Structure 1
Amino acid sequence: MMPYYLALGMEGSANKLGVGIIRQPLGNLCENNRAEILSNVRNTYNAPPGQGFLPRDTARHHRNWILRLVQTALEEAHVNVSDLDCLCFTQGPGMGAPLQSVVVAARTLSQLWNIPLVGVNHCIGHIEMGREITGALNPVVLYVSGGNTQIIAYSRQRYRIFGETLDIAIGNCLDRFARTLHIPNDPSPGYNIEQLAKKGKHLVELPYTVKGMDISMSGILEYVDSLAHDLFSGKKSKNLYDEEDGKRITVEDLCFSLQENLFSMLVEITERAMAHVNSNQVLIVGGVGCNERLQEMMDTMAADRNGSIFATDERFCIDNGIMIAHAGLLGYRVGYRNDLQDTVCRQKFRTDEVFVKWRD
């Protein structure tokens, strides 16, 4: 028997298509046996500036690239197909057509290679990858991405949702604002907003909507969008001038203000969750988790509580195949398998639906 387990993971819930191969040593999952990343390749579908990525176009991109990425991942990992213990795929949540494109490839390869399938909850993949990379023990998790915004804590073999967005996700909010400003989608709208925000000097007052442990962002987006339209049209609105020095607000100021406002809301509900579960650790996962300003604000809050934050770089924050391989292999080792009829994708697959059998 080989002294390790090997899994190949495929992620394609949105516009990022990723394939990764991971190796986990044999032994008790509770022991400090770190996994080894053998390959982690990705290809992104980017729509033109001012446009979002449509499901049909994204699915076409995934169909065109999935087998090429699988081949590249195997070559980079120096792994033979016969060495793989399981094939892992994102079962949800996400966009229906892109999810379906990847699961069809996973089903086909499973039958060709006679390798078991393991479906993975996308959110669980982010969390388990974050825990593996950072070594965080039992943190409050802030999950922020294009399609999800949740405050999560582990209890009794479930990742419990303490708070979340009531409407749109923070990544979606940033993406839609980038569309209004015609900010390029390459490498990502959120990253480009972050760079513009670093040049902002004036903090524009925006709606601040926290409701208990939940937040709402649709009203903030509508308001800041209206300011952007006024700015581009040359409208003489008093909201476009700083009250202190009377200077006109810039695009950079709007990006800066939107970030500060949204991130402050996230910090507030995260701190409340930390107090509730008596934790002094925060793990930030998801694509928006790459944002340095968000990490800085969260670190300031955690330091005030004598705590610390954990975060990863773009290799693991942004959707990737290795997180699906890792979480899928954890499930595989405790007996999870998916028959072909059980591989139906679910656009709404809640984080707290998953029984986390591999944790005490």
Structure 2
Amino acid sequence: MTVVIGFEGSANKIGVGIVRDGEVLSNPRRTYITPPGQGFLPRETARHHHSVILTVLKEALEEAGLKPADVDCVAYTKGPGMGAPLVTVALVARTVAQLWGKPLLGVNHCIGHIEMGRLITQANNPTVLYVSGGNTQVIAYSERRYRIFGETIDIAVGNCLDRFARVIKISNDPSPGYNIEQMAKKGTQYVELPYTVKGMDVSFSGILSYIEEAAGKMLKCNQCTAEDLCFSLQETLFSMLVEITERAMAHCSSQEVLIVGGVGCTTQTQPFRNADDGFAL
């Protein structure tokens, strides 16, 4: 049996996971939270990761009930992601690999999301909707390669949600997207927003600019609530993603959808399956 310990720190979350032959033994994490209206900057995020990573590593080993000698390989996120946090985590992973005398494996962040989802769900040949703070893509596996069928032509869906959260001062704890989702559940009025699907690609920057301007005017005049805007933005963005994903499924004759990435944790991105068996990583 092969035991792998992995270090992830490509954005504001730092995590150390231990997997044994596909079984997740531990996965402790810490998240760098900034005040409402503010994003997280690379330098401060890296400083946060540096301050907690050894504690998280200790927790991972204790939770898994393992010692360094039980580990066969050390893996870490090689990229893509934020430069300073990635470097901080990579440095610790390389040091650990040298101290423990274990081989070191750099993992592509995007492929890691997909393969982790396939491993946990046992999906055979899914169409992948990859939605996160920095990525928005519809991907399928064909002829031993990942093929991108559609993607954002400007900003990622997670970035769009995060930036809107800053505009209306939504809390970043535990994440802007989660809090937008909770507010959206209370929305009752749909505010029509631009719907920008271009073939298999989507565009979010125009929607963001539109709702940023509309928020200032409509909230001031009490034409709608912040909850209504959250509801409208979420419904519009996710409808666009559903459209291009369904089109890719038809092209690939796929019967499964795997939703991966941080934005996939919101229940509204899972219309393809029953909520009881939905899964996002």
Taking structure 2 as the reference length, the TM-score comes to 0.96
Distance 2:3 2:14 in 1: 20
SS at match of 1:17: strand
Instruction: State whether residues 258 and 279 of structure 2, in contact with CA within 8 Å, keep that contact through their aligned partners in structure 1.
Output: no
Partners of 1:293 and 1:309 lie apart in 2 by 13
Distance (whole Å) between structure 2 residues aligned to residue 156 and residue 12 of structure 1: 31
Secondary structure of 1:133 counterpart: helix
State how far apart, in whole Å, the 2-side matches of 1:218 and 1:113 are.
46
Separation in 2, partners of 1:310, 1:264: 21
Following the alignment from structure 1 to structure 2, what is the Cα–Cα distance between the partners of residues 126 and 312?
12
The alignment partner of 2:14 has SS state of strand
Match of 1:214 among 195, 198, 201: 201
Q: Is residue 147 of structure 1 aligned with residue 134 of structure 2?
A: yes
Q: Does 1:19 align with 2:21?
A: no
Match of 2:279 in 1: 312
**Structure whose CA Rg is larger:** 1
- Distance in 2 separating the partners of 1:311 and 1:164: 22
User: Alpha-carbon deviation of 1:310?
Assistant: 6.5
SS at match of 2:77: strand
CA contact (8 A) 1:130 1:311 kept: no
Contact map agreement 1:206 1:220 (CA 8 A) in 2: yes
In the TM superposition, 1:234-245 aligns within 5 A as 234-235=220-221
Q: Give the Cα–Cα distance (whole angstroms) in 2 for the partners of residues 299 and 214 of structure 1.
A: 23
> Which consecutive aligned stretches of 4+ in structure 1 deviate over 3 angstroms post-superposition?
308-311
1:286 aligns with 2:253: no
Q: How many residues end up aligned between the 2 structures?
A: 281
Aligned residue type for 1:280? Q
Deviations 1:233-259 (A, max 9, x none): x25xxxx7xxxxxxx211111000001
Q: Any idea what SS the aligned residue of 1:137 has? A: coil
After TM superposition, list the pairs within 5 Å mapping 1:70-219 onto structure 2. Answer: 70-219=57-206
Relative contact order: is structure 1 or structure 2 higher (C-alpha 8 Å, sep ≥ 6)? 1
Q: What's 1:348 paired with?
A: none
Uncovered stretches (5+) of structure 1, i.e. residues with no partner: 25-34, 241-247, 301-307, 318-360
- Deviation of 1:299 after TM superposition, in Å, equals 3.8
Following TM superposition, by how much is the alpha carbon of 1:309 offset from its aligned partner in structure 2, in angstroms? 11
User: What's the % identity of the aligned pairs?
Assistant: 65
Normalised by the length of structure 1, the TM-score is 0.76
Cα deviation digits, residues 161-191 of structure 1 (max 9, x gap): 1111111100110000000010000010000
Of 4, 7, 20, the match for 1:7: 4
Work out which of the residue numbers 52, 67, 73 in structure 1 matches 2:54. 67
